[in-house]
Amino acid sequence: MVCGILYVSWRELLTRFLQRLYFTNLTYYHLNMTLPGAIDNPDQRITQDVDKFCQQLSTVTPQIILSPFVIAYYTYQTYCSMGYIGPLSIYALFLLSTLLNKLLMGPVVSRVVSQERLEGDFRFRHVEIRTKAESIAFYNGGNLEANKLTRLMEKLLGVQLSVVHWQFPLNSERVLVIGSNYQGIPLYIIMYALIQT
């Protein structure tokens, strides 16, 4: 409930702010006519990107607020049951996972940015065809436009597949370290081995 209210409120605030900027000093005209390509698909940025950003932010914020308390509690509990080796090994595992994620995330982020840009271009091309449908039909350009859209879609799907391939190691690490249905069996085995020594 709280996440949903935060999401809607932040989206309203951010969209109003960006729209105010967009319509100040003919910015909408300059971005679309005099500076084409400076910001690709500003309509997508204001509508879809703001929506995704606010939705993600609203789900992460409660976790960020609660995390220090949860970490402190479990650090204390681990220390009480295992001594200093428990928290030390958990923090070492956390640092190792963080470094591994950092190495694997770089290529994924750049590909996701490309994917989002191509999604916007693909959507914009469809809007352009709808807007210029009469001219396209008059010049019998349907096949040409269809070929352009097909090439754009193939490029988009290629980048999307690349994102899926690069995300696989990130998802594999989550399953191996944190666990899925078995809640981190490898982590429990390591902790058990440390307790026995």
| Predicted confidence (pLDDT) per residue in 152-172, tens digit | 999 999 998 888 888 777 666
The whole-number pLDDT of residue 105 equals: 83
Phi, psi at residue 84, to the nearest 5°? -70, -25
Q: Quick one: average pLDDT of 64-93?
A: 89
- The span from the CA of 118 to the CA of 196, in Å, is 54
- pLDDT-derived band at 181 (thresholds 50, 70, 90) equals very low
| Predicted confidence (pLDDT) per residue in 85-140, tens digit | 889 988 998 888 888 878 878 888 889 989 988 988 888 888 888 888 888 888 88
Query: Is pLDDT above 50 for 41?
Result: yes
Q: Which residue has the higher pLDDT, 63 or 182?
A: 63
Question: What does the block give as tokens for 70?
Answer: 């949860």
Query: Is pLDDT above 70 for 10?
Result: yes
Helix (H, G, I), strand (E, B) or coil at 40: coil
- The span from the CA of 185 to the CA of 63, in Å, is 24
CB atoms within 10 A of CB 110: 13
- The span from the CA of 187 to the CA of 94, in Å, is 11
The whole-number pLDDT of residue 13 equals: 92
The whole-number pLDDT of residue 151 equals: 93
CB atoms within 10 A of CB 71: 14
